[in-house]
Structure 1
Amino acid sequence: IVNISVNNVQELIVAADMLQLTDVVNLCCEFLKGQIDPLNCIGIFQFSEQIACHDLLEFTEDYIHVHFLEVHSGEEFLALTKDQLIKILRSEELSIEDEYQVFLAAMQWILKDLGKRRKYVVEVLDPIRFPLLPSQRLLKYIEGGYTRLQGGRWSDSRALSCVERFDTFSQYWTTVSSLHQARCGLGVAVLGGMVYAIGGEKDSMIFDCTECYDPVTKQWTTVASMNHPRCGLGVCVCYGAVYALGGWVGAEIGNTIERFDPDDNKWEIVGNMAVSRYYFGCCEMQEKWVEVASMKVPRAGMCVVAVNGLLYVSGGRSSSHDFLAPGTLDSVEVYNPHTDTWTEIGNMITSRCEGGIAVL
């Protein structure tokens, strides 16, 4: 006679499996099946995977699929490994009302430990069928959650004021004077041997402030503020002025452009972009804005760089048809200003947005 209880079932099934006592293993599996509920099914699922008990694993997976809406609300769901989560999210058997519930479950898992899990964002969101998401609900989620996410995107939920400098000759990093205002999502530009730190945000507050670093005195000084607070903005230098483009302006993605003249210590609004954008790369700009040929794919969050007189645009986000949720791109386009044409070249190996790009 074998007495099975919640206190001994795990040890018993492991021992029975080692001794190849199949009947005892089966009894333990049946006992666990009878104990399963939305609060413990993840734990049983992980245990059955650990001991390679395929019958129990299949049973718990089916249970999770059927009771998904209850299961993903529990603490155990947040303890899933990345691979276990993806396996569940990919299932065609999930009992859901709409795809938005799967998206929320994925984001809930990521946000549980954003500092460690943000590197898995692309993998975890890959199973989401974004074309099936209600677009308005997704936009509300992005708008409502952006500032909550932004503060932790760059350094484990903390906006920083510290600044580091890399010496290309000695090949090492050193710290220099800190910014007066801790922030993330800021823009940075170099003009006249000075480093400008522009905009950004901290704790849901978006800044219009601009600071200037003098590498000779090794100090930051405050210069004129922008006309609009911005974070996630694009910044570049052209003809002796600093340009700040787009970014989040309050709860909206802005399309205004500001120009800073260091001689006059003044920001002025100089125009609008054709498309509102955030987190994009910037290269050279003309003093006069003219309409040129459109990209083959609408993008936001892309990388931009100029090489040998050609403009390379890679990755970013693009909306699906009928204004559905945006998807991450791996495509690359090249603009020739002489012929005013765009040409598609080979895709990147990995789709990406909000990345960095450099010319060597």
Structure 2
Amino acid sequence: MVEDGAEELEDLVHFSVSELPSRGYGVMEEIRRQGKLCDVTLKLHPKNCLGVRQFAETMMCAVLYDAANSFIHQHFVEVSMSEEFLALPLEDVLELVSRDELNVKSEEQVFEAALAWVRYDQEQRGPYLPELLSNIRLPLCRPQFLSDRVQQDDLVRCCHKCRDLVDEAKDYHLMPERRPHLPAFRTRPRCCTSIAGLIYAVGGLNSAGDSLNVVEVFDPIANHWERCRPMTTARSRVGVAVVNGLLYAIGGYDGQLRLSTVEAYNPETDTWTRVGSMNSKRSAMGTVVLDGQIYVCGGYDGNSSLSSVETYSPETDKWTVVTPMSSNRSAAGVTVFEGRIYVSGGHDGLQIFSSVEHYNHHTATWHPAAGMLNKRCRHGAASLGSKMFVCGGYDGSGFLSIAEMYSSVADQWCLIVPMHTRRSRVSLVASCGRLYAVGGYDGQSNLSSVEMYDPETDRWTFMAPMACHEGGVGVGCIPLLTI
């Protein structure tokens, strides 16, 4: 029976549902009896996962169904190129392209998948294109892609409903004031919450307040910190960014001078390499990645707070100055949210701000957004799903534990449950569908502690503390699964 079960297991993982033998219930019962569900999930592949999911649904096996579903979301691009995907019925394709959890680099990949499905049987499926496009988040595509690829496609051009959806997406970029009138899901970036990422804590301070070159990495699943290769330069108040699996440490303060130098860490080779320097020296700046480019916003150059913004291309190894912010901002919270760079709070050396502005990199323009409920600088900022979050910081009179959440649909902020600890100079990063507040300063001492926020329960939980740092770190997250 064991050998028969092994053969039936091979049937399950090598064939689609339509090819499985009629003894399906026997296969599932034998797999359950032998405890082989883990073997099935380990053998999931982009070419068989849709069939396995359908089989699990038919056999009412929730564990296998959830595993296959998660695999499909994580590997959507590869799955969309399979024969199983092209053979799916309309309702299954609609369900997939509407999911928040798809792991894609851009919405353009979802469009290409849907169009490939239609063209596989164009005569029968052509009429379904408007319904498919209405479930794809076209406003999140690049304007150039909308004009040169989507709008020029012959199936789109021949359908007035499709053309209307393209016009709506183009208006999203050209007329920001109309965004609140769009369906919320159509402008909500996808977030594959089942993908874990390793969180790197870079530079920062020790208990004596000295700048460090130390780097350590946190595994959220194992709840464990581990030291890795140090930077070549000590850096506190450092900017950190992740592009194409590389971790960039940008600028900062070495204990004597503000820095313009940049170095990149490759976790596969465990090496740091110097790359192109910024045009300006700066520490306490905001650092984000948008469309494969690194942006640094504001900061402090040793004399004054800055409004200047620079962008770095990993392909050319060059920094370029772009449109400055409307205000000088040091120690602001910066994050990418709904395809825009949002800068919140900070200070100019005289006053601390509650104001928020966002940058449209397509038009190179800054626009105001609703201000936070509390003024703050040295706070953490991150986006997760359809919301943006800030936590901690300093308001001029005290160190903060309070946290806020922003919705672009309402264009307003609301309070969420505060952290357990007051944290200024805190870093906030998203991983596994949760937020991690790392380190900081509570008004008396630098912090090595870490708190995790779960948006589903609105609760903060202490995680394992950093092993080598005492606050003031920069953080970046490298996904364990790359597309």
TM-score (norm 2): 0.38
Residue correspondence of structure 1 range 47-86 to structure 2 within 5 A: none
CA deviation map 1:294-320 (0-9, x unaligned): 22333211221223311122232234x
Aligned equivalent of 1:293: 370
Higher relative contact order (CA 8 A, sep 6+): 2
- Answering whether residue 288 of structure 2 is matched by residue 236 of structure 1, we say yes
The one of 270, 279, 289 equivalent to 1:218 is 270
The one of 335, 346, 353 equivalent to 2:424 is 353
> What's the % identity of the aligned pairs?
31
C-alpha deviation, 1:278, in angstroms:
3.2
Aligned-partner SS, 2:242: strand
Aligned equivalent of 2:393: 316
Aligned CA distance change for structure 1 residues 299 and 171 (closer, same or farther; 3 Å)? closer
Aligned CA distance change for structure 1 residues 317 and 171 (closer, same or farther; 3 Å)? closer
Aligned-partner SS, 1:357: strand
Aligned equivalent of 2:259: 207
Aligned-partner SS, 1:159: coil
**CA–CA distance in 1 between the matches of 2:204 and 2:404?**
32
The one of 323, 328, 338 equivalent to 2:409 is 338
**CA–CA distance in 1 between the matches of 2:217 and 2:423?**
27
Aligned equivalent of 1:283: 335
Aligned CA distance change for structure 1 residues 192 and 301 (closer, same or farther; 3 Å)? same
C-alpha deviation, 1:208, in angstroms:
0.3
Gaps of 5+ in 2: 1-202, 342-359, 435-483
**CA–CA distance in 2 between the matches of 1:276 and 1:237?**
21
CA deviation map 1:18-53 (0-9, x unaligned): xxxxxxxxxxxxxxxxxxxxxxxxxxxxxxxxxxxx
- Count of residue correspondences: 204
**CA–CA distance in 1 between the matches of 2:204 and 2:293?**
31
C-alpha deviation, 1:176, in angstroms:
3.7
**CA–CA distance in 2 between the matches of 1:357 and 1:318?**
18
Residue correspondence of structure 1 range 116-195 to structure 2 within 5 A: 153-166=205-218, 173-195=225-247
C-alpha deviation, 1:235, in angstroms:
1.3
Aligned equivalent of 2:302: 250
C-alpha deviation, 1:226, in angstroms:
0.6
Gaps of 5+ in 1: 1-150, 320-325
Aligned-partner SS, 1:202: coil
Aligned partners of 1:277 and 1:300 also within 8 Å: no
**CA–CA distance in 2 between the matches of 1:197 and 1:297?**
29
**CA–CA distance in 2 between the matches of 1:235 and 1:358?**
12
**CA–CA distance in 2 between the matches of 1:293 and 1:262?**
33
AA paired with 2:372?
M
**CA–CA distance in 1 between the matches of 2:221 and 2:415?**
38
**CA–CA distance in 1 between the matches of 2:369 and 2:249?**
30
Aligned CA distance change for structure 1 residues 210 and 155 (closer, same or farther; 3 Å)? farther
Aligned CA distance change for structure 1 residues 158 and 318 (closer, same or farther; 3 Å)? closer
TM-score (norm 1): 0.50
Which protein has the larger Cα radius of gyration, Structure 1 or Structure 2?
A: 1
Aligned partners of 1:318 and 1:329 also within 8 Å: yes
**CA–CA distance in 2 between the matches of 1:342 and 1:169?**
30
C-alpha deviation, 1:353, in angstroms:
2.1
